[in-house]
A and B are shown apart, each in its own frame.
Chain A
Amino acid sequence: MQEQAEYGAGPHRDIARAAPANLLARPRTRIAPHLLLAMPAILLLAMFFIGPLLVNFQESLRLDKSYPSLGHYAKFFGDTYYLMVLGHTVLFGVGVTALCLVLGYPFAYALADAQGRWKVFLLFIVVAPLLTNVVVRSYGWMIVLGGTGLVNAVLGRLGLEPLELMYTWTAVTIAMTHVLLPFAVLSIASVLEGRDRALEEAALTLGAGPSRVFREVVFPLSLEGVVTAAILVFTLSVGSFVTVLLLGKTSTMTVAVLIYQQLMVVSNWGFGAAMGIILLALVLASLALHARLRARRA
């Protein structure tokens, strides 16, 4: 059982047992008519996702005059430059995801448990980055992080050396974390919000300390929210390019920026589509791997 694997061992086993039996998608064995529930979603994607995907796939097999050709894929995998950019992209995605989870979790906790005006205020703060246009938001970062910007002004006051932050991985990572934080916070907060609080009360009554209650009761209950946050933040950070383009430079290259160049600057749809499909395959494979691992543990 998943819940045992998570926190079954230890003296507080009983508390864990008392957790809702359906902590993580516990399967029931009723089938047929229920499958219809997914029909609208399947139809939507079959019509408007698979169709465009096939168009892209076909285009990715077109190299100059020859078709079909695996030339674009061969170019990508045969060139260490592109493999390096792919590696950087994944590292960047993992870094932003980790930052968003670590920074976002306590904030989500605060949002879930806050009351009254505080809750409204925190909700507003969380969505605020998504309400500004990306170009002016990048301008905001230039003023904050730039050579004569706010951060360096503060450092100067403290008698410290100024930092060169703009147009580095640091700047890109900070700005990306900033704008993807809402996805992490709301994913986690919604799960924390819906949790059964009686369990914590029980654990506290039974004498467990607050940190132990968090580790053994609250955190495991919120795990699905953390997984959601990780999936959403990772895919968004790997797939967006405007922030990277405006706050980074030639060495802060990601696959999404390369795709942008191919489609918008040199009008080479084939190579752009091929890179898109490579990214899709990569992320889909890691999603499937994650699902497999989870299924095996359960």
Chain B
Amino acid sequence: MLRRVAVGLAVLCTAATTAFAQETLVVSAYGGIWKESVEKNFATCYTARTGNKLAIQTGESADWLNRIRANPKSPPIHVVTMAQADTMRAISADLIETIDPAKIPSLKDIPERFHKPWGGKAIDIHVGAFGIMYNKEKIPNPPADWKTLIEDIIAGKYGKRVSWPSGTYSWGPDMIWFMGQIYGGDIDQGFAKLKAMAPYVQRFWTSPVEVLDSFAAKQVDLVMYWDGRAYGFIDKGNSWAGYYNPKPGALGVTVAVAKVKNSPEAAWTYMDCALNAEVQLNHAKTLRYAVTNSKVVYPDDLKGKVANLDELLLLPYPQEIDKFPGWVERWNKEMR
């Protein structure tokens, strides 16, 4: 009896010390289904390969950026998965380590357009499309292209039952840029159209939750919204709702992984896991966003729902990011 207890204690002690000796990798993730996917898919792969633990720092993008900025010598987060703008800012602040392709075998399956723009510092893991979610009962045949849709809104065809992202939403500056792109890259015209739409926009939304609440309550019929979230909603028994990407394509927004400088080597393993075809497929199933690994074959129920990557318009951050504060200021002043 005593011996068994002693052996048990010894085993426990060894387990405890080894667990302490191993470095815990800290990665960022949003709460809810995102965190679920990181735990279920990325962490499982990482632990299987290294035997080490993974800790998830929840919160949100701007907050993660500030954390690694405040302590670059010993960063509290080792792999960041942030919004594009914040990844760009982290790169300009020299907080991100340059990728050694040899350490990430999965990189060869990722099309160049998902890592080239980052200058070898970050790799996109998935892509969301910012298209149109609508109430099929109220609007059976929404226009196929953005220009007609916008003119219809301005003409009051949908009444004051439209909800559009605010220029001050986290991806608001991206939306402003996209409006300019619809009109040949002319931001002034983009703003003019937004102003013309304003009388029929019940809400320029600032939080994706609030807009889904008002869409579910049928207070609005037409919403510029994310594809993954829209299909998540439709597939929960809301066949009255629809989603599509108007022509010539929706605004594509990516989420990239990057290794923070001065973080453990194991960070590369985690990044490789996040890009692995099998892991990515499961990630896509959870979040309903298109993933970047070209080897991923979507099952039938996801086909046609995840965005066709060739139809998306991606914002060239390095050239545009410095214009964001100006756009937001202009939005504040003009969209009153």
Is there direct touching of A and B in the complex, by C-beta distance under 8 Å?
A: yes
- A246 to B209 CA separation, bound complex (whole angstroms): 10
- A266 to B333 CA separation, bound complex (whole angstroms): 16
In the complex the two chains form, is B204's CB within 8 Å of A249's CB? yes
In the complex the two chains form, is B207's CB within 8 Å of A246's CB? yes
In the complex the two chains form, is A146's CB within 8 Å of B217's CB? yes
Chain B residues positioned under 8 Å from A147 (CB to CB): 202, 219
- A258 to B168 CA separation, bound complex (whole angstroms): 10
In the complex the two chains form, is A250's CB within 8 Å of B210's CB? no
In the complex the two chains form, is B209's CB within 8 Å of A135's CB? yes
In the complex the two chains form, is A253's CB within 8 Å of B332's CB? yes
Instruction: Contacts A135-B207, A135-B209, A249-B203 given; indicate if A267 touches B328 (C-beta within 8 A).
Output: no
Closest to A248 in B: B206
Q: Among A143, A147, A148, A262, which residue has the most Cβ atoms of chain B within 10 A?
A: A147
Q: Among A139, A246, A253, A267, which residue has the most Cβ atoms of chain B within 10 A?
A: A267
On B, residues with C-beta under 8 Å from A are: 62, 65, 85-86, 89, 166, 168-170, 172-173, 202-204, 206-207, 209-210, 213-214, 217, 219, 324-325, 328, 331-333, 335-336
Chain B residues positioned under 8 Å from A258 (CB to CB): 332
CB distance from A260 to the nearest CB of B (A): 9
Closest to B65 in A: A267
Chain B residues positioned under 8 Å from A135 (CB to CB): 207, 209-210
Partner of A138, one of B89, B170, B210, B219: B210
**Chain A 123-143 against B: per-residue CB contact (8 Å), 1 yes, 0 no?**
000000000000100110011
Chain A residues positioned under 8 Å from B335 (CB to CB): 250
Instruction: Contacts A146-B219, A250-B336, A251-B336 given; indicate if A266 touches B206 (C-beta within 8 A).
Output: no
Instruction: Contacts A142-B213, A250-B335 given; indicate if A264 touches B89 (C-beta within 8 A).
Output: no
Closest to A167 in B: B203
In the complex the two chains form, is A266's CB within 8 Å of B173's CB? yes
27 CB contacts below 8 A, A to B, read A81-B332, A135-B207, A135-B209, A138-B210, A142-B214, A142-B219, A146-B219, A245-B206, A246-B206, A246-B207, A249-B203, A249-B204, A250-B168, A250-B331, A250-B332, A250-B335, A261-B328, A261-B332, A263-B62, A265-B168, A265-B170, A265-B328, A266-B173, A267-B62, A267-B65, A267-B89, A271-B325
Chain B residues positioned under 8 Å from A266 (CB to CB): 173, 324-325, 328
Is A268's beta carbon under 8 Å from chain B? yes
Chain B residues positioned under 8 Å from A250 (CB to CB): 166, 168, 204, 331-332, 335-336
Chain B residues positioned under 8 Å from A271 (CB to CB): 325
Task: Give chain A's interface secondary structure class.
Answer: helix
CB distance from A94 to the nearest CB of B (A): 21
The 8 closest A-B pairs by CB, nearest first: A251-B336, A266-B325, A264-B62, A250-B335, A266-B324, A261-B168, A268-B325, A81-B333
In the complex the two chains form, is B62's CB within 8 Å of A146's CB? no
- A267 to B85 CA separation, bound complex (whole angstroms): 9
Q: How large is the interface on A (under 10, 10 to 19, 20 to 34, 35 or more residues)?
A: 20 to 34
Chain B residues positioned under 8 Å from A263 (CB to CB): 62
- A253 to B328 CA separation, bound complex (whole angstroms): 13
CB distance from B67 to the nearest CB of A (A): 13
CB distance from A247 to the nearest CB of B (A): 9
CB distance from A1 to the nearest CB of B (A): 50
- A250 to B204 CA separation, bound complex (whole angstroms): 8
CB distance from B172 to the nearest CB of A (A): 7
Chain B residues positioned under 8 Å from A262 (CB to CB): 325
- A189 to B64 CA separation, bound complex (whole angstroms): 42
Chain A residues positioned under 8 Å from B170 (CB to CB): 264-265
Chain A residues positioned under 8 Å from B328 (CB to CB): 261, 265-266
- A249 to B170 CA separation, bound complex (whole angstroms): 15
Q: A249-B204, A253-B336 are in contact. List 6 more A-B contacts (CB 8 A).
A: A258-B332, A261-B328, A264-B62, A264-B170, A267-B65, A267-B85
Q: Among B168, B202, B203, B336, which residue has the most Cβ atoms of chain A within 10 A?
A: B168
Chain B residues positioned under 8 Å from A142 (CB to CB): 210, 213-214, 217, 219
Chain A residues positioned under 8 Å from B89 (CB to CB): 267
- A245 to B210 CA separation, bound complex (whole angstroms): 11
In the complex the two chains form, is B209's CB within 8 Å of A146's CB? no
- A251 to B332 CA separation, bound complex (whole angstroms): 8
- A138 to B168 CA separation, bound complex (whole angstroms): 19
CB distance from B134 to the nearest CB of A (A): 18
Partner of A246, one of B204, B210, B333: B210
- A111 to B46 CA separation, bound complex (whole angstroms): 57
- A142 to B212 CA separation, bound complex (whole angstroms): 12
Instruction: Contacts A245-B206, A246-B206 given; indicate if A265 touches B173 (C-beta within 8 A).
Output: yes
Closest to B93 in A: A267
Closest to B220 in A: A147
CB distance from A151 to the nearest CB of B (A): 14
Closest to B89 in A: A267
Closest to A148 in B: B219
Chain A residues positioned under 8 Å from B172 (CB to CB): 265
Chain A residues positioned under 8 Å from B168 (CB to CB): 250, 261, 265
Chain B residues positioned under 8 Å from A146 (CB to CB): 214, 217, 219
Closest to A257 in B: B168
- A262 to B86 CA separation, bound complex (whole angstroms): 13
CB distance from B89 to the nearest CB of A (A): 5
Q: Among A142, A266, A268, which residue has the most Cβ atoms of chain B within 10 A?
A: A266
Q: Among A143, A166, A265, A268, which residue has the most Cβ atoms of chain B within 10 A?
A: A265
- A87 to B206 CA separation, bound complex (whole angstroms): 23
Chain B residues positioned under 8 Å from A251 (CB to CB): 336
Chain B residues positioned under 8 Å from A267 (CB to CB): 62, 65, 85-86, 89
- A264 to B204 CA separation, bound complex (whole angstroms): 18
Closest to B170 in A: A265
- A139 to B212 CA separation, bound complex (whole angstroms): 11
Closest to A147 in B: B219
